[in-house]
Structures are given as structure tokens and as C-alpha cells.
Amino acid sequence: MKSKNKFIVFEGIDGCGKSTLCSLLYDFIKSKNIPVQLLCEPTNGKYGQMIRKILQDKTSISVEEQIHLFIEDRKEDYKLNIRPCIENGITIVMDRYFYSNAAYQGCSKISPIEIIERNLNQGFPIPDRVYYIDIDPQAAMKRITARSGSGKTELFEKKTFLEGVRKNFLSMTDRHFLKIDGSLSVDEISNIIKDDYLKLN
């Protein structure tokens, strides 16, 4: 493996296991003494906090407003986190990026392709690798309700909506995408990802 720092993104519907897998890859990279930073979108910044409140309260806002908020959050993330990591040779392991924008907000009259274009027009860099964790929305919903304990869900956590989101993710043919079966065990998936990471150049 070359020593160049990597920009790695995890994508998938809610409950697919991204957060769990991000932490495992982060720990693996760190154990090799490679400088690495864990990031996620929505962030904890000004726009990220607004977004999280909207998601929790299930506030009804237009798709255009959703795209606007997620892109503003991403602009901040790029400036404060992503660009500094890239410039300072730090590998990024990131839970969601603009592909989520395309898959979720693309369940509308605006196509996923157009949303990707809008993100690329902002100058957001293309990752070296995207691990897309593919799972059936019914299984994902079971995990989400078990995780929350209270059975409380967020704005997009509905089986029918997630079916559309999954379809959008599956339509993405970016050569950096690696689709992984999210119904495998955490250990099995984590091993597939570690093997692949070691082969990235």
C-alpha cells in the first residue's frame, strides 16, 4: 500500500451498520499508527444541529430546503475538517457524504444525478473509496427500533421511504463504490473492509 492518506466514506440506509463499521475501520487504521480522523455528516456544526432537530421532530420542509441545509453543512465540514485532513496527510473515515444527499433527497422530483452534480459544483472532493453497505429496509428498521430502545424513529426512518433510498444507492455506478452485503455479521463485513483497505492505492 502506498503511504498516501485516504478519503474513505461509508454509505447506506439508516440502520445498515455504518457507524459500527466506521469505528472498527478507524481503530484498525489507528492501530497501524497511520494518522486518521473519524468524521460524520450531518456534522455537529450549526447546520448539522439544525438538521438533526428537523430529523428528530420530523419537521416538514421542502426537498430544496433539505438539499440546501445538507450542502451548507457539507461546506462547513469541507472547510473545517475534510480539507485540513487532506492537506495534512490525515486519512478520513467518514459516516455519510454527498451520496446520501443524492440517495435521500433524490427520492423526489430532483434526480440523484442532479444532486451529485450540485455537490461536485461546490468542489467537494471524490473519495478514494465508498463502502456501500446494502441491506433490506425491513431488516434495517428492526435494527433501528431495537437501537433506539423507545421505538422512536426519525424523519426518514420508514420502510417505504428507505426502499426508494436503497434503489437510489443501487443506481450509483461510481467506480469507487464497493457494495457489501449488510446482512453478514459485523466481523465478516469488517474483515472484507480491512482487506480492501489494505489493497487501496
Positions touching ligand TYD (CB under 6 A) are: 14-15, 18-19, 41-42, 55, 70, 95-96, 100-101, 104-105, 154, 156
17 binds, among ligand TYD, ligand ADP, none (CB under 5 to 8 A by kind): ligand ADP
State yes or no: residue 18 binds ligand ADP (CB under 6 A): yes
Instruction: Give how many residues touch ligand ADP by CB under 6 A.
Output: 13
Q: Of residues 133-162, which lie at the interface with ligand ADP (CB under 6 A)?
A: 143, 147
Question: Residue 75 or 143: which CB sits closer to ligand ADP?
Answer: 143
Binding region for ligand ADP (CB under 6 A) out of 14-22, 27-35, 98-106, 154-162: 14-22
What does the angle CA 163 – CA 187 – CA 175 come to, to the nearest 5 degrees?
A: 55
- Contact of 153 with 104, CB cutoff 8 Å: no
Main-chain dihedrals φ then ψ at residue 179, nearest 5 degrees:
-85, 130
Task: Supply the Cα-derived Rg of the chain in whole angstroms.
Answer: 16
- Could you give the CA distance from residue 64 to residue 62 in angstroms, rounded to a whole number? 5
Q: Are strands 36-40 and 7-11 parallel, antiparallel or unpaired?
A: unpaired
- Could you give the CA distance from residue 21 to residue 17 in angstroms, rounded to a whole number? 6
Question: Residues in the site for ligand ADP, rule: CB under 6 A?
Answer: 12, 14-20, 143, 147, 185-186, 189
